[in-house]
Amino acid sequence: MNLLIVCSKNSGRIAPFIVEQADSLSKLRVEVDYFCIEGKGILGYLKNRKKLLLKIQEFTPNLIHAHYGLSGLLANSQRRIPVVTTYHGSDINIPRIFLLSRLNMLFSKHNIFVSEIQMMKSKLHGDCSVIPCGVDMDLFIPMDKQVARQRLGINPDEKIILFAGAFSTAVKNPELAKVANGLVGNTNLIELKGYNREEVAILLNAVDVLLMTSLTEGSPQIIKEAMACNCPIVSVDVGDVGQVIHNTTGCFITTYDPNDVAEKLRQALSFAACTEGRGRIEEMGLDINTVAVKILKVYEKVLKSKLS
């Protein structure tokens, strides 16, 4: 099977979870290639149509997998190759983008949502699935905290809270995190910015707790990766976070009240141990290889329906 992945590269790179998913599909004998979109907004995306048609002619894919609704609209601007679209959160949560995603859902042969909440928001009754992105369990593994800190040059005695995003990203709600951190005191709040994938895996073992205060999310990858590393978590009930962490000891759901966030952080910091989050990820089948098999079954179903 030849699979063409259509996705944005406006940030200067393809999102790691897309690359990791593609790599896992390659292990299942799927020939993968990319068409990277450069340009913003609906017009910016659609200006890539001519280049996309040339890529299709060159690569001759059996199927296109678009990531995010606008990418799906571009992919569906041709009608010869069937399109599967995955929606990751912002394309459902932001009203003006959701309207375009909703239009794309009508054209895609199959729609994948990363959480039940996203699927319910879409109000879609057609051919769709809920398949969160999987975690690379070979990369995100538990390791000794002091070894991890030594590798990153972090003070071994410092209490460190890792904010689940960049402070400059408004939707991640950094102000709440900063206020709560101030209420806890004697802790260092650091942002998740400027690290490569290997460093993120080490960092999740080096910090005392991961904090998420986002206003909207789909199925945040960093939560699943923290679980795979047995890292304590404090998070607002956003996206599928509540479902993922469930009753995992050392992981806490908080409201958006700074005092509640601070209290949950104190509890997580006093936990001072590894969680059993990795077992929860395995139990839910959220490892990258299990997810790849689920996605491949979607592809096979779409291609079978094309032939019938």
d(CA 220, CA 158): 26
Give the pLDDT confidence score for residue 196 in this predicted structure: 95
Give the pLDDT confidence score for residue 90 in this predicted structure: 87
Half-sphere exposure of residue 294: CA atoms within 13 angstroms, side-chain side: 19
The DSSP call for residue 267 is H
H/E stretch holding 222: helix 221-228
Task: Sketch out the chain's domains with CATH numbers.
Answer: 2-134+287-307 (3.40.50.2000), 145-283 (3.40.50.2000)
pLDDT digits (tens, 9 = 90+) for 83-121: 999 999 889 988 889 999 999 999 999 999 999 888 888
pLDDT digits (tens, 9 = 90+) for 274-308: 999 999 999 999 999 999 999 999 999 999 987 76
75 has pLDDT over 90: yes
123 has pLDDT over 90: no
Contact 132, 115 (CB under 8 A): yes
pLDDT digits (tens, 9 = 90+) for 223-268: 999 999 999 999 999 999 999 999 999 999 999 999 999 999 999 9
| Mean pLDDT (whole number) for 139-162 | 97
156 has pLDDT over 70: yes
Give the pLDDT confidence score for residue 74 in this predicted structure: 97
Predicted structure pTM score:
0.93
Give the SS3 label for residue 66: strand
Give the pLDDT confidence score for residue 100 in this predicted structure: 93
Give the pLDDT confidence score for residue 308 in this predicted structure: 65
Give the pLDDT confidence score for residue 35 in this predicted structure: 98
Residue 118 in tokens:
């996203």
d(CA 112, CA 17): 15
Residue 179 in tokens:
């206020």
| Mean pLDDT (whole number) for 208-217 | 97
| Mean pLDDT (whole number) for 210-221 | 96
Give the pLDDT confidence score for residue 197 in this predicted structure: 95
Give the pLDDT confidence score for residue 253 in this predicted structure: 98
124 has pLDDT over 80: no
210 has pLDDT over 70: yes
pLDDT digits (tens, 9 = 90+) for 6-62: 999 988 899 999 999 999 999 999 999 999 998 888 889 989 999 999 999 999 999
Give the SS3 label for residue 231: coil
For the chain, the average pLDDT equals 95
